[in-house]
Amino acid sequence: MKNKRLIGVLAALALLVIGIIVYQSLSSQNQKSSQSDTFKVGVLQYVSHNALDEIYRGIKAGMKEEGYSGKKIKIDFMNAEGDQSKVQTMSQTLVNHKNDVLIGIATPAAQGLASATKDTPIVMGAVTDPVGAKLVKNLKKPDGNVTGVSDKTPIKAQVDLVKTLTPKVKTIGVIYSSSEDNSKSQVAEFKKRAEKKGYEVLEYSVPSTNEIATTMNVMLEKADAVWIPLDNTIASAFPTVVSAAKAAKKPIYPSVDTMVNEGGLASVVVDQYELGVATGKMAVKLFEGKNVSDLPVNIFDKGTPVVNKKVAKELGITIPADVLKKTKNK
């Protein structure tokens, strides 16, 4: 009798324990699946300028198009404001936050993230020269944890545009930041192509935005026109470049539409928003289970001409009808 009661109590206890274990494991599974339903994405933007801001808008839109908005996504956004030490600490913070995927907008941001983790997948948002920046070795089949979108503006078409719009130009001054790997390769290509067409190219690199004004003044004593690569430092202080060129009555050929709108003369450009949309969609693919090596770097290299008619008028430049016909900003 006593034994039976004991067995009964033990059996009840055992059932209780099993019940608790089953309940706990079920509820922890629930927790896990609701956690992995939410896409945790860390975004590091290198600096604020209109083009990068536009890319970030595109990134959010691209992720939303794939169904990631509202409660389905948690965006951990940081902006390093062009400060290299912030790039490092913010990259580390975004890794520590255990985001599922990381996005670096512009080369220095992608480089910061890549040196902070070799595990979490990283998507480059608009990195001009992923190989030169040592972010990817094989563009077709990325081998590390980094893939993404590359903006290779059509430099040949830009040189041709200088010839078409300003046939009298002989010497072109180039201003860029000495610390941006993206600019180095663009400047080398521009120099090669422009010299082939008979131009003299004068290069001026600046260590920071502080030197832009004086450098522009030195440059404009010799150069007939200014060409600017996709350089974040110059883009973030572009009004300084514009006011110097305006005073000297010389045209600026930037590499992006936002800088044409802000006072450049003309360019052949890649759409910034679309770069962002493609970046956002790639991040979603990684979250949904694709591997970095399944996703080749997406290269945008076809451009559309853009012209600032107000600046053309101020400089007394007539835009030929066939160029105007092709431009994006009618």
Q: Restricting to residues 9-68, which ones interact with ligand TRP according to CB under 6 A?
A: 51
Residue 177 touching ligand TRP (CB under 6 A): no
Residue 158 touching ligand TRP (CB under 6 A): no
Phi-psi region at 67: left, alpha or beta (left = phi > 0; alpha = psi -120 to 50): left
Interior angle at CA 51, CA 108 and CA 71, nearest 5: 85
CA 86/CA 59 separation, integer angstroms: 22
Region near ligand TRP per CB under 6 A, out of 83-91, 115-123, 124-132, 158-166:
124-132
Identify the DSSP state of 142: -
> For ligand TRP, which is the closer residue by CB, 43 or 230?
230
Region near ligand TRP per CB under 6 A, out of 96-104, 229-237, 291-299, 301-309:
229-237
CA 110/CA 125 separation, integer angstroms: 8
Residue 230 touching ligand TRP (CB under 6 A): yes
Cβ atoms within 10 Å, residue 259? 27
Residues 6 or more apart whose Cβ sits within 8 Å of residue 183: 176, 177, 229, 230, 231
Cβ atoms within 10 Å, residue 3? 7
CA 31/CA 153 separation, integer angstroms: 46
Contacting residue, 79, 99, 107, 166, with ligand TRP by CB under 6 A: 107
> For ligand TRP, which is the closer residue by CB, 39 or 300?
300
Contacting residue, 80, 122, 127, 135, with ligand TRP by CB under 6 A: 127
Q: Restricting to residues 178-207, which ones interact with ligand TRP according to CB under 6 A?
A: 182
Residue 106 touching ligand TRP (CB under 6 A): yes
Cβ of residue 128: shortest distance to ligand TRP, in angstroms?
Answer: 4
Token pair belonging to 282: 């790639």
Contacting residue, 111, 117, 232, 267, with ligand TRP by CB under 6 A: 232
Residue 151 touching ligand TRP (CB under 6 A): yes
Asked if residues 228 and 204 have their Cβ atoms less than 8 Å apart, the reply is no
Token pair belonging to 228: 């600017």
Region near ligand TRP per CB under 6 A, out of 13-21, 113-121, 123-131, 162-170:
123-131
> For ligand TRP, which is the closer residue by CB, 200 or 203?
203
How far is the CA of 303 from the CAs of 109, 267, 299, in angstroms? 24, 9, 12
Size of the site for ligand TRP (CB under 6 A): 14
> For ligand TRP, which is the closer residue by CB, 99 or 233?
233
Instruction: List interacting residues with ligand TRP (CB under 6 A).
Output: 51, 106-107, 126-128, 151, 182, 230-232, 235, 256, 272
